[in-house]
Structure 1
Amino acid sequence: MSRKNLWVSAAVSLGLVGVAVAFGLMWRPTIDPIERPTEFDSAQIARGAQVITAGDCAVCHTRPGGKYLAGGLPLVTPFGTLYSTNITPDADTGIGKWPLEAFERAMRDGISRDGHFLYPAFPYKHYRLLSDNDLADAYAFLMTGPPVYEPATPNRMKFPMNIRPLVSGWNLMFLRSEPFPPTAQESQQWNRGRYLVEGAGHCGGCHTPLNFLGAEKDSHALSGSVVDGWEAPSLLGLAGREKPWTQAQLVGYLQAKVVDSHGTPAGPMRPVSQELARLPVTDVEAIAAYLLSLPASDSTSNANSVRTAVAEESASLGRDLFQGACAGCHGTAAPMRSIDGRPALTATSAVQASEPVNFIKTVLEGIAPTPGEPGPVMPPFAASLNDQQLTALAQFVRNQANPAQPWSDLNATIQALRQETP
C-alpha cells in the first residue's frame, strides 16, 4: 500500500473513531424502571426535606398556582424557554419509577432515567457536589411525597439548542466540579457554609456571570450577574464594603426578614430566602459565615464615575413623589419603621447598589404577599408612575443615599424594565 493510501486509510479510521466517540458522548443508556419505593426511615425523610429545601427545588419545580414540585414553571433563557419538570413520585409523569441510581445520575451528570440529556438550567453542576448520603436522603423525601399527575410542558428552545444531545458537548467543556474535602484550616461552620453555597444552594447559578454558552464563568464566581431583569449582586467582599454586612444582618436577610441598613429580599431572591428560612438556623448561619469570609475582587469595585448633581427641578419632583407615595411606609416617622424595624429606604441594598435595576424593579412590581407567610408587602407602581416620575423618584432616593455617585441612564433602564414587567 502506498504512503498516500496509508494516510487516507488512517484519516478515515480516525474520522470513524471520532464519530463513534461523538455518538458515544451524546448517548446514555436507559436505567430500568422500578416500582416506587416507599419504605424509608422517618429520620432519613426529614433529612431529605432539608436537602430539598436547601436546594430551592420548590422555587423552580412549583409553578404559581400549581402543585408542590409538579413542575411547569417557565424558565426564560437566551436559548429559549424551558419548563421545569415534575419531580413528584408519579409513575407516569414524575420520577416514581426512578431507582436511586437514576436519581444520582440526574443530579450529578444531568442525564434522565431514559438516557436523555437535561439542560444545564438544572444546576447539576452544583448538585454533583452533594454527598451520597444527602442524595439518598433527598431521594427518600421525594419518593414518599404525594404523587401528582402533571405531564411535562414542551420546551421552546431555539435551534440548535433544541437538539438535546448537544448538551454532551457542554458537559465535556464545563462539567468539571467534583465533591471537595473539608478545608482543614477552616471551621466546621465555614465548611458547612461552603458546602451549602457551592452545592445544594447553587448560589453561583444566579450570582456568577455566564459566558455565551450559558456556563458560569468560574474565574468570576459569585461576582454578580443578572437574573430575570434583576441584578443578582456580587457576594464578594460583603464584610468590607462601605456599608458592611454583619453576621446577624446577613442571617436575617437570608431568612426573608427586614434587616437594618439593607432591607429585605425582593424579586427572584425572595422565594429563595423564604425557603432558606425553613432550614435550621445553624445552616443559615453557616452560609452567612462563609459568604462573609469571601474577599472582594477588582470586579466588585464601583465603576460609576462621579457625575453632576441632580437637577433642582427633578429633585423637587422626586421629593414630592417620595412624600406622596413612599413616606407612609419609608419615611422617618412611618409607623412601619418602628413596628417591624424597617430600615430607611436609602439604607437598603437596592438603593445602595451601583445599578438602579433592583430598585426600579421593586417599584414597578412591588412585593407580593405570600399566602400564609409573614413578611413585608408593597404595591406595584407600574401603572401609577410614568417614566418621568419614576426617573425623578429614583434620582431623589439615590441622591439621598449616595449623592456622589448618581445612577446613570435611568430613563433607558426604566423603559427596558417596563417591557419585562408583567
Structure 2
Amino acid sequence: MDWFYSFAILISSILVLMGLGLPVAFAFFATNIMGLFLFFGGARGVTQMVANFSEAVTTYALAPLPMFLVMGSLFFRSGLGDRVIHALDLAIGNLRGRLSYVTLGSGSIFAALSGSSLANAGMMGTLMAPEMLKRNYKPHMAYGPILGAGSLAVIIPPSTLGVLLGSLAQIDVGALLIAGLLPGLVLVSMFCLLIWVQTTVDPEAAPQYPVPKASGWAKARAVAANILPMGFLIFCVVGTIIMGIATPTESAGLGCMGVIALLLVYRKFRWSVIWQSLDDAMKVTGMTFLIITASTTFSQIFAFSGASNGFISAVTGFDLGPYGALLMMVCVVLVLGMFMDQVSMMLITIPLFMPIANSFGFDPVWFGLILLLAYEIGFTTPPFGMLLYVALGSAPRGTTLRTMAVSAAPYVGLTLLLIVIVVAFPPLALWLPGLMGR
C-alpha cells in the first residue's frame, strides 16, 4: 500500500489548495514542488520541471486552441450572432415555445463557431433571457435552453476543451473533435424534443403571443443571408477535417479567415474588434498553457512515485470489468463536477483514467468523448456549475441558484442518456473519425 500514501498526498494537496481559493495552475505548481522534493530528488526535480515547460507548450496539437478562441471571440464581439438569432426567430414563426427553440438553435450554431461554453451561455443569457421572461415564459423554459445550448460547445467541434483533452491525453485531436459532431446533433434533437414535451404538458410554460407574419420568401432570404454563411464557416472548421483537406490547426486558421471575410461582407470589420478578440484569446491561452506545464510535471511525479501504477492495479484488481471501471470513472467525474471547474477535473483525472482505459483496451477517441460528455454535465451541476452562475448573472434580482439547477436538470438527464447511448453504440462516436482514415 505504499502507493496509497503517495496518491493521498498528491491528490489531497491539490484539493486542499484549490479549496483554499488558490488558482488551479498555482495549486498544481505548489503540489509539484512538494512532490519533487518528496519523490523526485529535490532541486534536480525542480530543474526537470523547468525543462518541461517548453516541451509541454510546444505540442503541435495545442496550436488550434488560440485560433479557435480568436474565431469565437470575433464572432461574438462583431455582432454576427445577432443576425443569426433574428433569422431563426423569423424562420420559426409562431410556434409555441418559439423563443426556447430560437435559443437552442442559435446556441447550437454558436457552439460550432465559438468552441466556448461560457461565451455561448453568456451571449444567449444576455440576449434571450430578458425577452423570454418579458413574454411570461416560466423560468425553466427560459433558462433551461440557455444552459443546454451553452453546454453543447463542449462536444460540438471546435471544442476548446476537446483540444485541451486531446493534447493532455495524447488523443488524436482532429478525430476527437469530429467524434463529437454526431452525438452533438443527437443531443440537440433530444433537447428540442424536451422543449416540445414541456410545452405540450404545460402550454402556459411558454405562452404564445402575436408575431408579425413573414412570407416564405422573406424567411428564405433571412436564412440565406444570415445562417447559410455560418455553414460556410462550419465547413471551414469541421468539413475540411473530415474530408482530410486540413489538419485541426489549418482548419482553425481557415475558420479565422472565414470570420474576417464575413465581417468584411457584412461591413462589421473594426480594428477594435480584432484587438479585443486577440486580447481575449491571449488571456485564456496564457492561463491554459500555464496549467498544461503544471499538469505535465504532475503526471511525471504521479508516475514516478508509484501512485499511478498502484491505483491502476487496485482498480483492475477489483475485477469490475471494463464497463464497471468505465461507470466508476464517469461517476468520479460527475461528483467532482459538483465542486470543480472542467480544467481542474481534467488535470486531476486524466493521469488516473487514461492508463486504466488503455489497460482495458478502450478506443481513446471513444473514451475521450465519454469524458467530454461527463465534463459537460459538470458545467450545470450545483453548487459550483459555472454555467449556472453565468445564467444567474443575466437573471433578475432574486433569482436563486436552485431555479437554475432545476431548469438544467432535464438537460443533464438527457446528457446522461447520451452517454449510455454512446457506450452502447460506439459507431455513433467513431463513424466520422473512421471516414478520416483513422
Structure possessing the higher relative contact order (Cα contacts under 8 Å, 6 or more residues apart): 2
TM-score for the superposition, normalised by structure 2: 0.19
Task: Please identify which structure carries the higher helix content.
Answer: 2
TM-score for the superposition, normalised by structure 1: 0.20
Structure showing greater Rg = 1
